[in-house]
Chain A
Amino acid sequence: MNNKKILIKLKNEYIGRTYAIICGLLIVILTFSMMFFIFSKGMNTFINDGASLKEFLFSSVWQPDSDTPKFGALIFIAGSTLVSIGAVVLSAPISVALAIFIHYISPKLGDRMLQPALELFVGIPSVVYGWIGFSVLLPFIKSGFGGIGFSMLAGILVLSVMILPTIASISADAVKVVPKNYLEASYGLGATRWQTISRVIVPAAKGGILTGIVLGLARAFGEALAVQMVIGNSIKFANGILSPTSTLTSILTMDMGNTVSGTPWNDALWSLALLLLVISFTFILIIRAIGKRGE
């Protein structure tokens, strides 16, 4: 009798619960194993190939394929940083404007036009962004501003469109939850809509907006193919917004297929992947800190 009870309970509860718990734990296992594997691969440069962390982060001499390999990744770090920040600077004001429009200027148009538009922007594959950048933007930049077309500017423009929906949708959530009585207080004091927006809504939502910006930055850092297709991939610092350069992701995309596992060159690429992982984890920690402060 007792046995049967356990069996029924097993069927009705324990198997399902165990399955759900396993799935939950799988996320943790997956994340940790990803960190472990990329960490152990990425450390080879420093352990086996004799590079120092200082050289890796602050030197710009990248010759991992020579007889005395040099592992300075500063060019890629600078490239990724500049392109991402450029994209965010361009994208963030527009995104915040969209967020405000959606909830405070015209909720009807926002709901019918802007929200679906943002969803579609997310849906467009990054290779298509890259291809449009390559076939439309590059000739345009070349004829309009000079240079060869492949440039940081092209990377910034493509990325700014790609991260727009990320920043806009998170900012929209943030401005939406600004308490109604703040608005009423502001309007009651005789403030105009714009005064309310600029002095009450945006300051009250700044934590959420900042979260959106950091997530946009993270997405810009990690985007690979679209940037790689328009930035030119030359291994040198950009000496202006119109000159080509490389990013962490673009060099990974370009070279990973050409190197043999175990060589210093290959190790160096894994170190770049590790750096990307560390950067994206740092962004998550920053977002958490912002969230904590807001509470």
Chain B
Amino acid sequence: MDAKLKDKIWTIILYAISGFVVLLLLVLIIYILFKGRNFLSFSFLFGNPKVGEAGGGIAPMFFNSFYMLIVSLLITIPLGVGAGIFLAEYAKEGLLMNIVRLCIETLASLPSIVVGLFGLLVFVNMTHWGFTILSGAMAIAVLNFPALTRVSENAIRSAAESVKEASLGLGATPWQTISRVILPSAMPQILTGIILASGRIFGEAAALLFTAGMSAPPLHFDTISLIDKSSPFSLMRPAETLAVYIWKLNAEGMVPDASDIANKASAVLILMVLVFNVSARIIGSKIYNSYSGKK
């Protein structure tokens, strides 16, 4: 009887712990959204930040976060997918493969602040670019490179299983097989990985402090250029993102309503993370359905 009673007690404890964790998450998210519930106002989402007075908005930072995300994805996706193909299809087990794996593990576990400092050294100082979107995007690309490589490798491996030999048997070269048969069917799974990574990029701050800088000049959408510093699409301008802005509000507090803005900006960030997460889940379940033949 004793063992059975113990079993019951521990079952209850495990339920309690799991319930506590889920509850903690719910409370956290609801609290953040509730505290920042006034973020849905035109002057906040589309207004420029103010210095020394209350009521500033987050428009430039919000735009910067999206632009940074796009630029860094444009850098990481081709490289990550390429490296994934290499690991899944071309690399042979052996010393080289082992070294590549060790490097991926090392790179993936590096603190993001260290990656940011590497970015400061190479993408900011050595290139003489200064704090720019491009430097920040490259630092984040370094940060996400290993994760995306892993996602692509796994997706390609699992997609290759069923179709690879058929394609090779028809006389296609390995590359033709990869690019026309395997990759298209691996794409949904890679996409899920990319969206989840996007959520992380959107909230990343430590790697950006010393690469993309901490200033966000107001945006004027009358010049469109990738190099001209006055254009919002310029890769060569400093760009404080939303996450970095929250950090700076807390560190320097240069406006009287800093905590109010930080609350609202946190709500916006959390909402974006939720959007990224939910869309990754939807795509994931679509793939599951199509693979299991339900639709």
Contacts and interface: CB of A to CB of B under 8 A. Distances in A.
A28 B99 contact: yes
28 contacts: A23-B81, A26-B79, A27-B104, A30-B142, A34-B115, A37-B122, A38-B118, A97-B13, A100-B14, A113-B18, A113-B22, A114-B21, A116-B281, A119-B277, A123-B200, A124-B203, A125-B203, A128-B32, A128-B270, A193-B11, A221-B111, A223-B111, A225-B205, A225-B247, A252-B117, A273-B113, A277-B110, A280-B111
Interface in B7-47: 7, 10-11, 13-15, 17-18, 21-22, 24-25, 28-29, 31-32, 35
A148 interface: no
Does more than half of chain A's interface fall in helix, strand or loop, or is it mixed? Answer: helix
Interface in B104-159: 104-107, 109-115, 117-118, 120-122, 125, 142, 145-146, 149
A232 interface: no
B288 interface: no
Contacts of A135: 35, 259, 262-263
CB-CB nearest 3 A-B residue pairs = A125-B203, A222-B111, A23-B82
A293 to B, nearest CB: 17
Contact of A123 (B17, B114, B276): B276
Interface residues of A, number: 88
Nearest to A122: B200
Contacts, number: 253
**In this complex, which of A16, A109, A123 has the most chain B Cβ atoms within 10 angstroms of its Cβ?**
A123
A117 B22 contact: yes
B32 A24 contact: no
B273 A120 contact: yes
B62 to A, nearest CB: 14
Contacts of B203: 123-128
B225 to A, nearest CB: 29
A105 interface: yes
B90 to A, nearest CB: 6
Interface string A5-32: 0000100111111011111111110111
Nearest to A221: B111
A242 interface: no
Interface string B142-178: 1001100100000000000000000000000111101
A120 B25 contact: yes
Interface string B265-290: 01001100110110001000000000
A101 interface: yes
Contacts of B21: 94, 98, 114, 117, 164
Given A97-B18, A215-B109, A224-B111, A192 B173 contact: no
A94 B17 contact: yes
B31 A132 contact: yes
B294 interface: no
B175 A17 contact: yes
Interface in B236-264: 243-244, 246-247, 250-251, 259, 262-263
Contacts of A22: 82
Interface of A: 9, 12-17, 19-28, 30-34, 37-38, 41, 94, 97-98, 100-101, 105-106, 109-110, 113-114, 116-117, 119-128, 130-132, 134-136, 161, 164, 191-195, 197-198, 215, 218-219, 221-225, 229, 249, 252-253, 256-257, 261, 270, 273, 276-277, 280-281, 283-284, 287-288
Nearest to B97: A24
A38 B117 CA distance: 8
A49 B6 CA distance: 62
B180 to A, nearest CB: 10
B114 A276 contact: yes
